[in-house]
Amino acid sequence: MALLSKKDTNLILDPLADNNPITIQVLGICSALAITAELKASLVMAVSVIFVMGVGNVVISLMRNIIPSKIRIIAQLIVVATLVIVVDQVLKAYQYELSKTLSVFVGLIITNCIIMGRFEAFALGNGVWRSFLDGIGNALGYGVILIIIGFFRELLGSGTLFGIQVLGDPIAKTGLYAIGYENNGFMIIPPAALIVVGIIIWVQRSRNPALVEEN
Amino acid sequence: MHELKMKYQGKKMAPAFNAFHTFLFSPNETTHAGGTHVKGADDLKRTMNTVIMALIPVLIFSMFNAGYQHYSAINGFPENFSVMEHFLTWDNFWIGIVKVLPLVVVSYGVGLLVEFIFAVIKGHEVEEGYLVTGMLVPLIMPIDTPLWMLSVAVVFGVVIGKEVFGGTGMNILNPALTIRAFLFFAYPTWMSGDKVWVHGAKDGVTQAGSVDAISGETILGYLAQGNEAAYQAKYSLSDMFFGFIPGSVGETSTFLILLGGLFLIFTKIASWRIMVSAVIGSLAMGLIFNGIVDAGWIAEYSKFYGLMQFDFWKHLLVGGLAFGIVYMATDPVTGSQTNRGKWIYGFFIGFMSVMIRVFNPGYPEGVFLAILLMNVFAPTIDHYVIRGNVKRRMKRLKNAVVLPKDSDSAAKELKAETV
């Protein structure tokens, strides 16, 4: 017997491609714009969201039968806020510089609509194990897009990856810069992320025309 | 060629081939006999060609000006300036050929390549849309723009600015200005400052008999620094009007742009409403700023003072305002379509251009930003103009004496017509 049944596998794999929270459901765009100028920040954000969503979905799923439905949003907010504070404190303790870069956006994970969306749509109505898989899957789908955007924005905008210069030194003019290449300042500013997201959506839908919505 | 065209009919490369064919020959298809056909000579291709004709004088002037600014920056401006002796010289023209012509070639080459690729992928005819864009792009660039940057920007502008919306005629933003805006945000050191407007300044070419590098600050640049005396010593009013000043390649000569504008109005290609209202808008904003200065509401040490006290009508002579109003704002695709909408659209282009110009701390120019902004608002303006029209006519209908039996259906019909 496989570790995961086919249905469970789909819970993880679907959000990675054909039901991606960013490119298909178009949720969580704010953070995708704000923190993807560097790959490292994108990665940390992705890991944080994976943690918050995995654990959060489990907690909500455990409590799903005792939360009165009238105050369920508040209950969800408390769960997600608690988890976000844990993430924030861990970052401050071990990655202080990075937490300054991410600044308010770690706190704003609370408002990430993907998380509340999954709590509402999935964890409130499903068992613990499946909720966990769903949380991980959606957060992975979010993280993958974040990392793709971060990769292109950092490479083209700063010529670095994880802060390491891969295209040569722009100040000493080595590598590509020696022949006149320059970093693209447009990729640093947030609108560039919108355009990269748009291109990802475009590529994805032209590869899989079934995803194109009818007007 | 005609046989080849038939041979490739329906093949994958057919659109690209057809485009080439139409470019060289007049099409061999004729309307079939029978029935009535309306034939208009002013198709898209001719419209585009008319705009290009209006741009040719500007282009040629810019080639001479490129050299004139370059040599004047090195040797100092000539004492008794004569057009024949100092401006229309082979030396000047040669700089134009080496610097301006490659911009034109790259702009057309890359842009048309993208168009051809998209035509082949989508399987439709190549659209003529890039003909004008390709000519506008080099004219709004600083002279020393590296060619690879231009290529990147052209690919970006044509794909993101136009093709994603469905190609020529469907774009929201003016592609040429999208290209300019992309370059401005992507490579600001090549697009602004005092080193990019004259050929050689960026490479550190020095003045004759001195170790100082040449600089080509624009008039707006001097004003933004509050250094009014410096520009007045260098450029007279007629220099500004005829265009013997540094600036983007083709934007300097207000005189030739004016002629081009009149030509476009005369041939009914461009909307005179947009041009007139944009001029009014810029004058209005300039007057407001002059008024603020006259009223003493702004201190002389303020960083906005230099540009605010600039005579309101001179804004039209310097920078890209005239070029933008005549060739960019009047783009029939991205501008407003209704007559009243055109007045509003044009007015705000002029108004915002001067406002951004004065308040932009890093870069004293705002025409391209203003036009892009109004491009976005153009459909909204049209929407409200049309709604207003519908409302007015409904009111008229209500007051009109109509047979009671028909009034309901008449209202419905009218709604269907005007919405």
CB contact under 8 A, A189 and B185: yes
CB contact under 8 A, B182 and A186: yes
CB contact under 8 A, B148 and A180: yes
C-alpha R_g of chain B: 24
pTM: 0.82
pLDDT for position A7: 75
- The CA distance from A194 to A205, in Å, is 16
Chain A nearest-CA residue for B165: A202
Which of A142-151, B87-96, B215-224 has the highest average model confidence (pLDDT)?
A142-151
pLDDT for position B416: 57
Q: Which of A79, A108, A103, A80 is nearest to A91 (CA)?
A: A103
CB contact under 8 A, B188 and A202: no
Nearest to B188 among A185, A195, A198 (CB): A185
Q: pLDDT band at residue B374, thresholds of 50, 70 and 90? A: very high
Q: What is the pLDDT of residues B48-62, one digit of tens each?
A: 888 888 888 888 888
Instruction: List Cβ<8 Å contacts ≥24 apart for B163-168.
Output: B163/B114, B163/B118, B164/A198, B164/A202, B167/B118, B167/B122, B167/B124, B167/B127, B167/B129, B168/B44, B168/B127, B168/B128, B168/B129, B168/B130, B168/B333
Mean pLDDT, rounded, for B368-395:
91
The nearest CA of chain A is from the CA of B81 a distance in Å of 37
For each of chain A's 215 residues, which pLDDT tens digit applies?
456 677 777 777 777 777 778 877 778 777 778 888 888 888 888 888 899 888 988 998 888 888 888 888 888 888 889 998 998 888 889 888 888 877 777 888 887 888 888 888 888 888 888 888 888 888 888 888 889 898 988 888 888 888 788 777 777 777 777 777 888 888 888 888 888 888 888 888 888 777 777 65
pLDDT for position B276: 92
Mean pLDDT, rounded, for B79-84:
70
pLDDT over 90 percentage in chain B = 15
pLDDT for position A1: 43
Determine contact: B164 vs chain A, CB below 8 A.
Answer: yes
pLDDT for position B31: 64
CB contact under 8 A, B187 and A189: no
All residues of chain B having their beta carbon less than 8 Å from the beta carbon of residue A189 are 185
Of the ranges B54-63, B144-153, B244-253, which one carries the lowest mean pLDDT score?
B244-253
Q: What is the pLDDT of residues B265-275, one digit of tens each?
A: 988 888 889 99
pLDDT for position A16: 76
Mean pLDDT, rounded, for B334-348:
90
- The CA distance from A134 to A10, in Å, is 9
CB contact under 8 A, A189 and B160: no
Nearest to B186 among A180, A186, A202 (CB): A186
* B235 or B147, which is more confident: B147
Provide the mean pLDDT of chain B. Answer: 80
Question: DSSP character for B9?
Answer: T
The H-or-E segment that residue A165 falls in is strand A164-165
